[in-house]
Structure 1
Amino acid sequence: MASVQVPSRHKAVVYDNPGTVSTKVVEIDTPKPGVGEVLINLTHSGCCHSDFGVMTNAWSTLPFPTQKDQVGGHEGVGKIVALGPGTENSGLKTGDRVGIKWVASACGICVPCLEGADANCISVKISGYYTPGTFQQYALAPAHYVTPIPDGVPSDVAAPLMCGGITVFSALSKSGAKPGDWVVIPGSGGGLGHLALQIGARGMGFRMIGIDMGEKETLSRDCGAEVFIDLSRYSRDDEGTNKLVDDVKAATGGLGAAAVVVCTASNAAYAQALRFLKFRGTLVCVGVPEGSPVPIATANPGTLLTQELRIVGSAVGNRKDAIDTMAMAARGILKTHFELQPMDKLTEVFERMQQGKLQGRVVLDLSG
């Protein structure tokens, strides 16, 4: 393929005042790929709740506050425009469409990497957190870690799958649920939840229960929720929680669900989740609560022993999970529900995210 003209500078969106909901479009120098790297002309980037957590310093699990003028984002898709030295045997070429994930790079040789837990790599680099992210028009990435995008999967559809899709695919795989089992998705109408419903119902054969606010019922059912429970109909006290638990169990025939995959950052969702489970059920922790998390209700040895329950943590998936997720998208099993927004609307997007007004995902069009 003929060489591509790469500009010396390009547009990026940065967190100009970390700790607050604030972003700014700036121009920055376009880097050149180093050894083992490729340069990607990104056309689209998903906007994830994790970006919100990084921008606002809301996650106590991160070791350092976010730096000023950090280029955020971690769900980018575009075309390779330049390859650095040492990429000759990578199988990549200019013009290939690839994606950048939450994990920008993992070493591949530490114990977590050898176990397939890339996000727990001792040398992990995170896109959009002390590594330039995907809210920009050109980005570097290690050739060994980009994800090929199949033909037939549009870039705007593919972008949110680079984190959201991979994350819930991995979580559902760890749930222990079998085809025909009931699986509950708190946060079913959100960026993670609507993807989890599709993968669970259409890709893995689970019977899905969505839990969210009433305005997200249509999206949840369209994505595969056999049962939808409207949170707005329940009070926030013990009586309301007891009624919610009773209704979830009634939907499953009285036994409870085989798994609950919490796809929201809500502390309340975690406080309720164990009570939705049947004997030997599994709670999969995915959403990261902001501030000080509350203890998971009834997570005491007696309850865990008598019901033989499991609590499993699941960070984002690995490279194999990414390929499997994209294969589902290529087969038409999985499709992102999203709205497209320009780069200069990112602050507004985050404000709507904070207010819980988003359904599905927002994807940034990086062409402007």
Structure 2
Amino acid sequence: MAATEFHKVAVLTSPQTPDAKPTFEVKNVPRPVPGPNEVLVRLSLTSLCGSDLGMALGHMGPMRDILGHEGVGRIASLGSNVSSLDPTVEVGQRVGVAWLRDVCGTCDMCVDIVHEGETRCVEALHSGKAYDGTFAEYTLVPLRYLARLPATYDEIPDEEVAPILCGGVTAYKAIKGCDLTPGQWLVVSGAGGGVGALAVAYASAMGYRVIAVDAGESKEAYCLSQGAEHYVNAIGSEDAGLRVKSLTDGRGAKAVVVTATAAAAYQKAFDMLGPFGTLMCVSILPEEAQVIFHPLMFIDNGWKVKGSSVGTRADIIEALEFVKRRKVTPAIKWAKLEDLGNLMGQMIERKLEGKYVIKL
């Protein structure tokens, strides 16, 4: 019998409750072995996503104790059926490991091709839930939903690919879903965060005029550097909604993309919307969070409220095209697995800027 091989992981050690302070322990555990229809991926790095904090706090239901879903690596070994099912899959191929690990392909969501419903598959398998996440040296991915990275993107380093696999593609897909015309005003609420800053960058690259909204003056320079034309301090002396209206000649924005993890951000978004505007919901709030509205707000203004959930593998490739052309460049900072607890603590206090990337 072959000796057991081990790999390094970060294990969540705190309770998955909204009032917890996330803590992690880095340890060596047995390396996973691929099933017949799976591949084993040796991750080179992973980045930290805001959703990882929500998962650690129980906002997305019970999770495994190895989180993470923005990983990049290469196939290390193949399950026994893989070569016969798809001979183009080979050891050494570069792949991304994102939130979605597999979809059923047959539920009412998956078969709705018009709405690209696979991102809402009712039987979906997710990182950190059905499979151990990417806060680990190795992880398993089902062949059916393998996200191969084409050779045309070899020039993009792993550390710039990883943030796009969730934060970047989520921002890009949400903006696409607003159905705007280049030149129209778009507000990003929570613009200084990981997803928010990427939303600013993508919206600017796509030709929209961006107003960044966040709490505190310290995030202004960062948001402007990502492509925002204006920055509005949500805790400033002037009401944020009135400030947005004044910057748009009194009309309001055509869309508000909310990436801030606060119910107040959603509530304030109504004050920023112009006629026939779209409120795009991205950030995940605790179950008890509430947003109050009256139907006349939508009847009188022609507003729409929509939600966007990550993106398909095709969306990831589209989002990477902006990075390849240097229209979007993720602002990354380096960290270690041992830093996860501290980073999530800073995330709770909304002090993080940019995307933290962890070498594995």
What is the TM-score normalised by the length of structure 2? 0.91
Say whether the 8 Å CA contact 1:98–1:147 is kept in structure 2: yes
Deviations 1:274-309 (A, max 9, x none): 22111111000001123521214xx32111011110
Q: Tell me how far apart the structure 1 counterparts of residues 348 and 135 of structure 2 sit (CA, whole Å).
A: 19
Matches within 5 A, 1:70-109: 70-88=65-83, 89=86, 91-109=88-106
CA RMSD of the aligned region, Å? 1.7
What is the TM-score normalised by the length of structure 1? 0.90
SS of the aligned residue for 2:201 comes to: helix
Matches within 5 A, 1:154-173: 154-173=157-176
Displacement of 1:252: 1.1
Q: Tell me how far apart the structure 1 counterparts of residues 255 and 159 of structure 2 sit (CA, whole Å).
A: 31
Matches within 5 A, 1:331-350: 331-350=325-344
Q: Tell me how far apart the structure 2 counterparts of residues 157 and 146 of structure 1 sit (CA, whole Å).
A: 19
Displacement of 1:147: 2.4
Long gaps (5+) in structure 2: none
1:237 aligned partner: none
Higher mean Cα deviation, 320-329 or 192-201?
320-329
1:210 aligned partner: 212
Say whether the 8 Å CA contact 2:233–2:240 is kept in structure 1: no
Q: Tell me how far apart the structure 2 counterparts of residues 291 and 112 of structure 1 sit (CA, whole Å).
A: 23
Deviations 1:53-98 (A, max 9, x none): 11121x1xx3x4335xx11101111111112233332633222211
Displacement of 1:140: 0.6
Q: Tell me how far apart the structure 1 counterparts of residues 47 and 87 of structure 2 sit (CA, whole Å).
A: 26
Deviations 1:207-228 (A, max 9, x none): 1110112111111111110111
Displacement of 1:36: 2.5
Q: Tell me how far apart the structure 1 counterparts of residues 335 and 32 of structure 2 sit (CA, whole Å).
A: 25
Say whether the 8 Å CA contact 2:200–2:226 is kept in structure 1: yes
Matches within 5 A, 1:252-263: 252-263=248-259
Say whether the 8 Å CA contact 1:90–1:144 is kept in structure 2: no
Q: Tell me how far apart the structure 2 counterparts of residues 280 and 193 of structure 1 sit (CA, whole Å).
A: 23
Say whether the 8 Å CA contact 2:172–2:202 is kept in structure 1: yes
2:29 aligned partner: 28
Long gaps (5+) in structure 1: 1-5, 235-239
Q: Tell me how far apart the structure 2 counterparts of residues 159 and 146 of structure 1 sit (CA, whole Å).
A: 15
State whether structure 2 residue 268 is matched by structure 1 residue 272. Answer: yes
Displacement of 1:343: 1.0
SS of the aligned residue for 1:51 comes to: helix
Say whether the 8 Å CA contact 1:151–1:330 is kept in structure 2: no
Deviations 1:112-162 (A, max 9, x none): 122222232121111012420000000110223232332111111111111
SS of the aligned residue for 1:178 comes to: coil
| Number of matched pairs | 345
Q: Tell me how far apart the structure 1 counterparts of residues 111 and 315 of structure 2 sit (CA, whole Å).
A: 15
Q: Tell me how far apart the structure 2 counterparts of residues 118 and 7 of structure 1 sit (CA, whole Å).
A: 36
2:127 aligned partner: 127
Say whether the 8 Å CA contact 1:77–1:97 is kept in structure 2: yes
Deviations 1:184-237 (A, max 9, x none): 0011111001111111111x2111110112111111111110111123423xxx
Say whether the 8 Å CA contact 2:43–2:137 is kept in structure 1: yes
